[in-house]
């Protein structure tokens, strides 16, 4: 859904993905599996 919304120009994919991952971690996750892993790693480099 995030990628589809970003393609339509409705949101900034990088900003939303990083916020989602931060929220999951803040909620107490020890590990996060996501389709956005490669992109997030690239953005956080």
Per-residue pLDDT of the chain (45 residues; tens, 9 = 90+): 999 999 999 999 999 999 999 999 999 999 999 999 999 999 999
State how far the Cα of 19 lies from the Cα of 43, in Å rounded to an integer: 13
pLDDT on residue 16 = 96
pLDDT on residue 27 = 97
State how far the Cα of 33 lies from the Cα of 10, in Å rounded to an integer: 25
pLDDT on residue 26 = 97
pLDDT on residue 30 = 96
pLDDT on residue 23 = 97
Structure token pair of residue 12: 């900034």
The burial class, CB within 10 Å (0-12 / 13-18 / 19+), for 6 is: middle
């Amino acid at each position: 859904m995030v990628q589809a919304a970003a393609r339509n120009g409705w949101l900034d994919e990088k900003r939303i993905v990083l916020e989602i991952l931060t929220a999951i971690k803040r909620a107490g996750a020890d590990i996060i599996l996501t389709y956005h892993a490669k992109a997030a790693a690239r953005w956080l480099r």
